[in-house]
Structure 1
Amino acid sequence: MLRDISLKNYRMFKDFQIDGLARVNLLVGPNNSGKTSLLEAIHLLVNPHNIDEVFEQFLAPRGQIVFSEPLNADPEILYQIKPLFYKEILTTEAPLCIESNSDTFQSFSMQPYPTPEYIEAIDGIEGSYFREILTREIMRQNHYNLFLSHTQEKQTIHRATQVNVKGIASRDFEYLTCYGPPPFQYRRSFLMTIERLKLATLAEMWNDITLTPKEEQVIKALQILEPNIERFNFIGATTTARTTASGILIKLREREHPVTLGSMGEGMKQILNLVMAAVTVENGILLVDEIESGLYYDVQADMWKLLLKIAQELNIQIFATTHSWDCVRGFAAALSEAAESDVGKLFRLSWRGELIRAIDYPAEQLEKAVDYGIEVR
């Protein structure tokens, strides 16, 4: 479990440190205080083996994926890397770095241009392939070299790609080297952006959930909004190529015919998204942007109680953002009833001059703040 995280030169974070992370962490703060960016940073940190997929997941909603326009070929997917760097400045002197030092060491870094120190550091690596990369076409005029380094425990993976002077990078991250033993356990993460999950994604996740104990947890989640729900399932649409999910049917107690999920409101879809993502990422990290979206205030506490329970049972760490006072109040209420109050904590991100700082509110302090109406958002 992540106990701390530090960011340097990542988006609006010039130099940021957050300590004392809990199993369930709620992030609040004004607009442009870095809440979503912190979720993205954690997603980058703990996913060393599917880096291109991770980039696409959070660059696409921000409109930071572009397409090349070749004359006689298919368009190439390109990434706008420049906005990932502090003040959008690509320089050797200010590499992007994300680290966690507690429990197990993890780091992710991106550095444009090979520095002499970086070249010297790889001298001891066997083989000439890495050096060839440094001197080949990737060093074309008016192009940066962008080096990515991913470390988990004692294993480090190096990759490289091309970035032009406008900060547009190729999505083809060239694998360079990997050395050191693999971590004892990889902890992947699942990122839910404000766009939420597509029906096809939910259906694919359901294949690993149905007929397991996790199915009961999903049903209990839906019963937060509708106690009469007994079960649900996906319905398919057959094409000439394959069968895909086209909807979700809900079976209600004492109702002869099922109803569609779409007829039961946006909150039901949100609960389903949250809990299916949570049970799917067992032993990993769930990242949720604007977790309160689509949920009425009177179900917020029940939602948090269930997520706290699932997080403990399935060894999940949760990071979520919100702007909602009702969500904060529900979180405080759920923590007050938890057997272990330190299972969750609220962090408020705010600007202090040119730097962003985090103020933590453990369960007891958060409960008092809510009781007295002290603004923590």
Structure 2
Amino acid sequence: MYSSIEISGFRSLEQVRLEGLSRVNLLVGSNNSGKTSVLECVGLLHSASDYRVLRSLLELRGEWLPDEDQGRVYDIAQLFSHRDMSARICVSGQRSGPSSQLEAVKTELSVQMEQVQMGLPLHDDAREAADESPGRLVWASSERKGEFRAALTADGMLPVRQPARHGWGTDDDIPRVQFVGTGGLVPGDVGDIFDDVVLTDAEDRAVEAMRLIEPRVERLAVLASKRTPLGSSARGGILLRMQGVDGRVPIGSVGDGMWRMLGLALALARARGGVLLVDEIDTGLHYTVMQKMWTMIAERSRSLDVQVFATTHSRDCYESLASVADPDAVPPGDLTIHRIEPGSGKSNVRFSEHEVAAVAERGLEVR
């Protein structure tokens, strides 16, 4: 579990440090303060250069363009502060190791010129071609042997089609990172995760999470023949059985809150032993449900050993967190609020369990 993270050169985060991180971290701040960027940096740090994580954050932002040769490409200049690909992105952190001692971890992204990569004299025609290319994206991590390297197109874009991983043995060897965007899990991901948890305790927990909104939910099913392609917003093929209702109920018929709670429960299961990143965690949820949501997240994150980072703009959201930020109910250091301040060289403003409770009781503003 990370206790601190330092970020430089990523999007609008020229230099930011987060200290006093806990198991469940709620990030607040003004628009464009960099809350979502912090989530992305945690994912980059924890994923140890697994390309699928980089791809998922670019997909969630919609940072791709059509391309005649590649089909579509990613605009990776958006990742660098001021779109300056001659600079370097660095995310480092301190976390508890297997022996409970703090260990340092680090990840870096940079663009290296082809001429430097080749390290050989070039003929005139080869030199001209190399001069037209910005080179390769290099993603290095202190936790793995080798690096992720991908050749860029002539205009500095990253082709979508890349190997899923380099140098790892199996998927179980890759540190787990799970993103949940403002629209919830991608429907295709819901089907994939459900395949992993069906007939297990995690399936029961997912149904229990939906019952926090609709107590009549009895079962959940995903029809394999109806799986939705990656990137689609449709929710077809995900069905509910509900007490007192004849026939199967499509999940899209019962509101965004049900979809959000299902996504959070399944994402927690997928993130076991890793990190869960949730953008605008309160999306689709009425304020009366948020206390139950935080209770579910606090309990499941402990049992599954997941560190949670979430963002919000909602006062209801952070005030409802106070209802479970009770030192008698949760271990000290398990729930904190962090205000992200825009600007270079800023550290987060941290609110502990006691301070979160005081903020809610006195009606103070922390955003």
With normalisation by structure 2, the TM-score equals 0.84
2:345 is the counterpart of 1:376:
no
Tell me which residue corresponds to 1:107.
106
Distance 2:289 2:296 in 1: 11
For 1:366, which of 343, 356, 361 is the aligned residue? 356
2:210 is the counterpart of 1:222:
yes
1:170-189 Cα shifts (integer Å, max 9, x gaps): 4566999969x99x964210
Distance 2:153 2:20 in 1: 39
Cα RMSD, aligned residues only = 3.3
* Residues 351, 357 of structure 1: 8 Å contact kept: no
Q: Give 1:204 deviation, angstroms.
A: 1.9
Tell me which residue corresponds to 2:79.
84
Equivalent residues in 2 for 1:39-78, closer than 5 Å? 39-48=39-48, 50-51=50-51, 53-70=52-69, 75-78=70-73
* Residues 114, 130 of structure 2: 8 Å contact kept: no
Distance 1:364 1:134 in 2: 64
* Residues 53, 177 of structure 2: 8 Å contact kept: no
**Secondary structure at the residue paired with 2:359?**
helix
Distance 1:22 1:196 in 2: 23
Q: Give 1:259 deviation, angstroms.
A: 3.1
Distance 1:357 1:135 in 2: 46
Distance 2:49 2:110 in 1: 18
2:342 is the counterpart of 1:351:
yes
Distance 2:220 2:313 in 1: 31
1:340-374 Cα shifts (integer Å, max 9, x gaps): 1421111000125x444311111101111111111
* Residues 7, 98 of structure 1: 8 Å contact kept: yes
With normalisation by structure 1, the TM-score equals 0.82
* Distance change (3 Å), C-alpha of 1:46 and 1:135: farther
Larger radius of gyration: 1
Q: Give 1:229 deviation, angstroms.
A: 2.2
* Residues 22, 342 of structure 1: 8 Å contact kept: yes
Tell me which residue corresponds to 2:193.
205
For 2:145, which of 142, 156, 159 is the aligned residue? 156
1:214-268 Cα shifts (integer Å, max 9, x gaps): 12211211111122322222245479xxxxx943332333555443322222111
Extract unaligned runs of 5+ from structure 2: 97-102, 228-234
Distance 2:263 2:281 in 1: 10
Tell me which residue corresponds to 1:260.
250
Tell me which residue corresponds to 1:29.
29
Which deviates more from structure 2 when the two are superposed, residues 300-309 or residues 55-64?
A: 55-64
Distance 2:226 2:164 in 1: 39
Distance 1:256 1:113 in 2: 61
* Residues 26, 346 of structure 1: 8 Å contact kept: yes
For 2:321, which of 307, 328, 331 is the aligned residue? 331
Letter in 2 for 1:64: E
Distance 1:114 1:368 in 2: 53
Distance 1:68 1:5 in 2: 36
Aligned length: 349
1:152-171 Cα shifts (integer Å, max 9, x gaps): 44x33223334468542345
Distance 2:358 2:154 in 1: 51
* Residues 7, 99 of structure 1: 8 Å contact kept: yes
Distance 2:238 2:155 in 1: 45
Q: Give 1:146 deviation, angstroms.
A: 3.4
Extract unaligned runs of 5+ from structure 1: 120-129, 240-244
Tell me which residue corresponds to 1:2.
2
* Residues 133, 155 of structure 2: 8 Å contact kept: no
Tell me which residue corresponds to 1:294.
284
Tell me which residue corresponds to 1:168.
157
Distance 2:262 2:81 in 1: 36
* Distance change (3 Å), C-alpha of 1:174 and 1:300: closer
